[in-house]
């Protein structure tokens, strides 16, 4: 045996080689090809001439597409914010649950991961559609209320108008929050679980209430977890495709839907490639901002 793992170069090379080759062949190379496409134009039905043009990028930041980029960022941001607000109390509750309950609660959080996204999304459609059980329940209540009004001699309520819960921005946000909540809860939980509980007791002991303890001790110390939760939720939400496609209406298109259309119906691979890379650059920017914040946190929290 070698003295240390660092010196066992042969072992490392052997273990690292195959995955590296795999990544190079099936990840880096295709990415490079798509990247090259983004500087080309359609030369025929299936031919793409790589001419080094920036026209695709210029088109990608035209107001029409820029608006969709911004809208996607806004939807992803709102989703992330809602996930944070909903997920923080959940993570906190799991942290303070008994060991036995903790296992079950974490299992419940992860359960949706084990179900296909398509199935989950169609299930949501069943809930939200005009004849879905939310509207059916509301109709039943409405009928009851109407009957009650008639009974006490008031004007009946009239016909029930089903709520428009599907194929709009509301449905998209709801679906995205539903899908991404576990991404937020898990990093929050791991940050909160690592927190020394005697710090919370110390805060109470010094006279602080629970709210002050939460905002002056728990949240500042959980900041790294909050930051990674935000990032890990925001990035997939920004590139969400299936949820806006199935739950959204004509005005809820997100950037991934536009990109898909370029590759398929519009058969404009170079433009689709350019937009894909703009999306990727946005993701890089988000990661960079998070890294910057993480670096500054220790000093900034004076």
Partner 1 sequence: MTDKPIITFENITKRFGKMVAVDNVSLTINEGEFFSLLGPSGCGKTTLLRMLAGFETPTEGRILIDGQDISNVPPNKRPVNMVFQSYAVFPHMTVADNVAYGLVVDKVAKVERDRRVDEALELVQLGGLGHRKPDQLSGGQRQRVALARALVKRPRVLLLDEPLSALDAKLREQMRTELCTLQEKVGITFIMVTHDQDEALALASRCAVMNRGVLQQVATPSDLYEFPNSRFVADFIGSVNLFEGVLAVDEPSHAVIRSPDLPVDIFLDHGVTGARGGAVWAAIRPEKIELHKKTGDEPPNLGDCPKGTNAVAGVIKHEAYLGGQSTYEVETLTPTGGGRRIKVHRSNLTRWDQEDFKLGETVWLCWHACSPAVLLS
SS3 45: coil
Alpha helices in the chain (DSSP H): 9-23, 29-37, 55-60, 63-95, 99-110, 117-128, 133-151, 169-194, 197-205, 210-213, 219-238, 242-247, 255-263, 269-300
Tell the smallest beta-carbon distance from residue 205 to partner 1 (Å): 5
Tokens, residue 121: 């999304």
CB 302 within 8 A of CB 296: no
- 4 versus 98: smaller Cβ distance to partner 1: 98
- 218 versus 247: smaller Cβ distance to partner 1: 218
Q: Regarding beta strands 40-42 and 48-50, do their DSSP bridges make them parallel or antiparallel, or are they unpaired? A: antiparallel
- For residue 21, count CB atoms less than 10 angstroms from its CB and return exposed for 0-12, middle for 13-18, buried for 19 or more: exposed
Tell the smallest beta-carbon distance from residue 88 to partner 1 (Å): 18
Query: Which residues, at least 6 apart from 138, have a Cβ–Cβ distance to it below 8 Å?
Result: 160, 162, 163
- 48 versus 221: smaller Cβ distance to partner 1: 221
The span from the CA of 294 to the CA of 11, in Å, is 34
Tell the smallest beta-carbon distance from residue 222 to partner 1 (Å): 10
Torsion sign (Cα): 184, 185, 189, 190: negative
Tell the smallest beta-carbon distance from residue 162 to partner 1 (Å): 49
Tell the smallest beta-carbon distance from residue 217 to partner 1 (Å): 6
- 124 versus 226: smaller Cβ distance to partner 1: 226
- 153 versus 207: smaller Cβ distance to partner 1: 207
- 9 versus 216: smaller Cβ distance to partner 1: 216
Tell the smallest beta-carbon distance from residue 286 to partner 1 (Å): 24
The contact set with partner 1 (CB under 8 A) reads 196, 198-199, 201-209, 212, 216-217, 220-221, 301-302
Tell the smallest beta-carbon distance from residue 232 to partner 1 (Å): 23
- 149 versus 202: smaller Cβ distance to partner 1: 202
CB 100 within 8 A of CB 195: no
Q: Which residues pair with 50 in a beta bridge?
A: 40
């Amino acid at each position: 045996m070698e003295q240390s793992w660092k010196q066992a170069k042969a072992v490392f090379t052997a273990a690292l080689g195959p995955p590296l080759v795999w990544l190079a062949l099936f990840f880096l190379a295709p990415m490079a090809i798509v990247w090259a496409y983004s500087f080309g134009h359609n030369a025929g039905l299936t031919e793409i001439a790589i001419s080094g043009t920036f026209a695709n990028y210029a088109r990608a930041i035209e107001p029409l597409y820029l608006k969709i980029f911004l809208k996607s960022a806004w939807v992803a941001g709102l989703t992330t914010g809602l996930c944070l607000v909903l997920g923080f109390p959940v993570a906190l509750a799991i942290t303070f649950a008994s060991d036995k309950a903790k296992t079950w609660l974490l299992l419940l959080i992860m359960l949706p991961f084990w179900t296909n996204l398509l199935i989950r999304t169609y299930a949501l459609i069943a809930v939200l559609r005009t004849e879905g059980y939310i509207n059916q329940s509301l109709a039943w209540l409405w009928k009851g209320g109407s009957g009650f009004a008639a009974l006490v001699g008031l004007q009946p309520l009239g016909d029930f108008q089903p709520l428009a819960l599907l194929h709009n921005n509301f449905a998209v946000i709801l679906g995205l929050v539903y899908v991404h909540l576990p991404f937020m809860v898990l990093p929050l939980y791991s940050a909160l679980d690592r927190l020394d509980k005697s710090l919370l007791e110390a805060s109470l002991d010094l006279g602080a209430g629970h709210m002050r303890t939460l905002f002056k001790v728990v949240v500042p110390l959980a900041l790294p977890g909050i930051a990674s939760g935000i990032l890990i939720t925001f990035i997939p939400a920004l590139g969400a495709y299936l949820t806006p496609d199935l739950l959204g209406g004509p005005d809820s298109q997100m950037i991934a839907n536009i990109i898909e259309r370029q590759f398929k119906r519009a058969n404009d691979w170079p433009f689709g490639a350019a937009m894909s890379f703009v999306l990727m650059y946005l993701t890089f920017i988000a990661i960079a901002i998070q890294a910057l914040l993480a670096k500054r946190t220790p000093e900034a929290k004076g």
